[in-house]
Amino acid sequence: MNRLAGKVALVTGAGRGIGAAIARAFAREGAAVVLAELDGETAERTANEIAATVDGARVLAVPTDVTQPASVERAVKTAEDRFGALGVLVNNAGINVFCDPLTMTDADWRRCFAVDLDGVWHGCRAALPGMVERGAGSIINIASTHSFKIIPGCFPYPVAKHGVIGLTRALGIEYAPRNVRVNAIAPGYIETNLTREWWDNQPDPAAARQATLDLQPMKRIGQPEEVAMTAVFLASDEATFINASCITVDGGRSALYHD
């Protein structure tokens, strides 16, 4: 408890899934949290749920589209007007865009990059000036094991997620002298709408889910809370010398050569 006391955090895509779990864990650890979510109703519902279940939670829902720089800037400003200087930013919003490279439309390519890479940059761009000026900040970008492994048929998502690691490393080095840390988390399979929708779109959803489980060294997939606690660590003063790094949260799957 209170590992993030006194900190102000903004989490993008915090209405559900991993982002909601991060917002909840941050609030539990004493941070004031802005849920910057595309769908205002989802954001409000999750913020209300956190306020009702976490003692003394300070949360605010701000409808935000990470593809729009002005929208993200507004969210950062709202967070600072309400709670004070932003110390932690989690760029979590992301979408799956899985296509065949040669039949993919330009619109699919743009849709993927607009959220999965541009969105991360927009968050960094909005938060960095204040963090750099104050000489303090922790930015956490939610990457993926697709940031360093490829599954055929998932193009161009891994291209954007590789970019998230590049962005993390570049900005981490750029602003290290100003004590602003930029790190990534690479989740493997985590139980959220994103994974459930993927299974549901397969010809045999139950078999697809079982096939995923069979691939896991721990014979289960991860829970959003398991990613959230890694974010708590990176956001906290327990991680003050961790910078330009990526922590993989995948139960060991990406270390496995083959079954």
Q: Which two tokens stand for residue 31?
A: 């941070």
| CA 248 – CA 179 distance, rounded (Å) | 23
Catalytic residue among 157, 175, 189, 257: 157
Q: Is 122 in the site for ligand NDP (CB under 6 A)?
A: no
Q: In this chain, which of 66, 90, 97, 235 binds ligand NDP, going by CB under 6 A?
A: 66
Q: In this chain, which of 138, 168, 183, 192 binds ligand NDP, going by CB under 6 A?
A: 192
Whether 257 is catalytic:
no
Residue 221 CB, nearest approach to ligand NDP (Å) = 7
Q: In this chain, which of 8, 187, 235, 253 binds ligand NDP, going by CB under 6 A?
A: 187
Residue 18 CB, nearest approach to ligand NDP (Å) = 4
In sequence order, which residues have a C-beta less than 8 Å from that of residue 114 and are 6 or more positions away? 67
In sequence order, which residues have a C-beta less than 8 Å from that of residue 18 and are 6 or more positions away? 92, 142, 187, 190, 192, 224, 227, 228
Q: In this chain, which of 7, 9, 12, 128 binds ligand NDP, going by CB under 6 A?
A: 12
- Closest of 159, 157, 219, 156 to residue 189, by C-alpha: 219
Q: At what angle do helices 119-134 and 69-83 cross, to 10 degrees?
A: 40
| The amino acid at 55 | D
Q: Is 93 in the site for ligand NDP (CB under 6 A)?
A: yes
Q: In this chain, which of 38, 47, 75, 127 binds ligand NDP, going by CB under 6 A?
A: 38
For ligand NDP, give the closer residue by CB, 57 or 140. Answer: 140
Residues that bind ligand NDP (CB under 6 A): 12-13, 15-19, 37-39, 42, 64-67, 92-95, 115, 119, 142, 144, 187, 189-190, 192-195
Report the catalytic residues. Answer: 157
